[in-house]
Structure 1
Amino acid sequence: MKKIESQVNVTKVEVIDFSARVRGNYLFERISTVFESGNITLLYGPRGSGKSAFLRSFAKLNEEIYPEITYSGSILFDGKDLQSFKEQELRQLVTYLDTNYLESMDYLTLREIIHLVFGKSFKFSVEEYASTLDEFGVLKALYKFEKTPLSSLYVLEKIGLLLFISSLKLSSLLIFDCILDHLDDEHVEKVTNMLKNMAKSGKIIVISTRTLTRFLALADVLIVMNSGRFIYSGRPDEFILEGSV
């Protein structure tokens, strides 16, 4: 099966005293943490806590929303500063997905989303990737093969397709920003198993959520964020023992 090779393979992402401001107002401030390959980090916080702005920073996406944003501190990919990466290289290294992707998929076919992500020169066929598509629970939904309109897919199948594309890119850091909150309860376990398998392959996975208890069992590391600050960072079981859930 053909895959798109990442230019670099990162095993550790360090965040050091990292802050972001827009016109003097903090989106988040003085954040320090470490994400490591093979681990799944769950970032929990209410709406407006700053978690999306923080996560978009890893792919330099905040600039599209806040042209005047300024940063202090640093993000290091295996010791190399985020700012030293070319944008194309960074977008290959980091996959960031939020709920907007679920909505925009409705206007695309399978072939169109593959071309959008990898370019029109990338040769793709459902037959060639059938076994992997089946592993991600998508194959049976592709009734028109590459011409299948993605509006016909259920939420679980859309998320499965996004996970498939993420695996195809071979990104080192996968960020799922509240996108899994759209899953029905009966589908959480299936997606959880997919993510665990991706983590075992060496991915760094970060999941943000506004519904803590649904995904707590999935996490190796739990971070709780509020008002632009981390108020807890550590093992999920210790958070439970503190009586915070």
Structure 2
Amino acid sequence: MDKDKIIEIKDLSVYINSQRLLNDINLEISKNEILLIYGPRNAGKSLLARSIVTLNEELFKNIQTTGQILFLGEDVNHIEKRYLRSEIAYSEPTFVDNINFLTLSEVFNLVLGIKPSEISHEQFILLEKLNIAHIFSNHSSLKSYESFWNWTIGDKISFIIFLSLVRNPQVFIFDSILDHLDDFMHKNIKDFLYDIKEDRSLIISTRNLSLFSDIAEKIVFLDQGEIVYKGSIEGFLLNFPL
């Protein structure tokens, strides 16, 4: 495997209830790269993103997968799931709703094994970069934000990114979750993601090309479970003008 390749997808097809939803996907993701998975609703974007972290088998009963996905040269099906998902951090829109059923203290204990008041200086700086440090500034604010029902959607997405970052993964997969940010939050998060890509690879699944086309090196255009185009953003826009 090429030393710059972090994920390689070979001849991947996915069937659910005998219906083929992904067809012969071949794709390489390099280190320090931002890749867009772009396409209309039901194109197979989420199915592809979840395949990388072997999540589809936990969501669907009658599923069959052929082909292979390699992470640093090793088949993802042969990697212990907890380790795989610590190295490849996956997030999607239901995380924003599901976090409401836990408290801030419970999330910190589950994910980091500490209390919110015990964050390190480095973690607080990261929260500042994500524009949510005000929540952790003092005891009063921590108490006010103990329930996630008091958080904005943008703040919850920033917090989910924070939880992923502190685990120091090699790859981030954002499965449509960033599409839910307002314009102000979107610019801040996009700038932040571009800054951190020097140390990580980012995969962003989206139905809105204009949101991320200025920071991505490569795009995969999916439609009806097949790759219609893969290559540079510039090449895509020449072949498929908006």
Match of 2:126 among 132, 135, 138: 132
Q: Post-superposition shift, 1:53?
A: 1.0
Q: Post-superposition shift, 1:78?
A: 1.6
Give the distance between the partners of 1:53 and 1:68, measured in 2 at CA. 14
Q: Deviations over 1:112-132 (max 9, x none)?
A: 1222334xx456535523222
Q: Post-superposition shift, 1:186?
A: 2.5
Tell me, which stretches of 5 or more residues in structure 1 are unaligned? 1-9
Give SS of 2:213's match: helix
CA spacing shift, 1:165–1:41, aligned 2, 3 Å: same
Give SS of 1:125's match: helix
Q: Post-superposition shift, 1:159?
A: 1.5
Superposition pairs of residues 79-158 of structure 1, within 5 angstroms: 79-118=73-112, 121-122=113-114, 125=117, 127-128=119-120, 129-142=123-136, 143-144=141-142, 148-158=146-156
Q: Which residue of 2 aligns with 1:55?
A: 49
Q: Which residue of 1 aligns with 2:38?
A: 44
Q: Deviations over 1:24-67 (max 9, x none)?
A: 21121100011112111111111111111111111111112212
Native 8 Å contact 2:175 2:206 kept in 1: yes
Give the distance between the partners of 1:168 and 1:131, measured in 2 at CA. 12
Superposition pairs of residues 1-245 of structure 1, within 5 angstroms: 12-118=6-112, 121-122=113-114, 125=117, 127-128=119-120, 129-142=123-136, 143-144=141-142, 148-201=146-199, 203-245=200-242
Give the distance between the partners of 2:21 and 2:144, measured in 1 at CA. 41
The one-letter code of the counterpart of 1:199 is K
Q: Deviations over 1:189-210 (max 9, x none)?
A: 1111111122112x11101111
The one-letter code of the counterpart of 2:221 is V
Give the distance between the partners of 1:110 and 1:139, measured in 2 at CA. 14
Native 8 Å contact 1:111 1:146 kept in 2: no
CA spacing shift, 1:127–1:170, aligned 2, 3 Å: closer
The one-letter code of the counterpart of 2:220 is I
Q: Post-superposition shift, 1:183?
A: 0.8
The one-letter code of the counterpart of 1:183 is L
Native 8 Å contact 1:109 1:146 kept in 2: no
Give SS of 2:43's match: coil
Give the distance between the partners of 1:161 and 1:23, measured in 2 at CA. 36
The one-letter code of the counterpart of 1:179 is I
Structure 1 length normalisation: TM-score? 0.88
CA spacing shift, 1:185–1:147, aligned 2, 3 Å: closer
Native 8 Å contact 1:108 1:151 kept in 2: no
Structure 2 length normalisation: TM-score? 0.89
The one-letter code of the counterpart of 1:46 is P
Q: What value does the CA root-mean-square deviation take over the aligned residues?
A: 1.9
Fraction of identical pairs, as percent: 28
Give SS of 1:67's match: coil
Native 8 Å contact 2:93 2:177 kept in 1: yes
Native 8 Å contact 1:20 1:72 kept in 2: yes
Q: Post-superposition shift, 1:172?
A: 1.3
The one-letter code of the counterpart of 1:222 is I
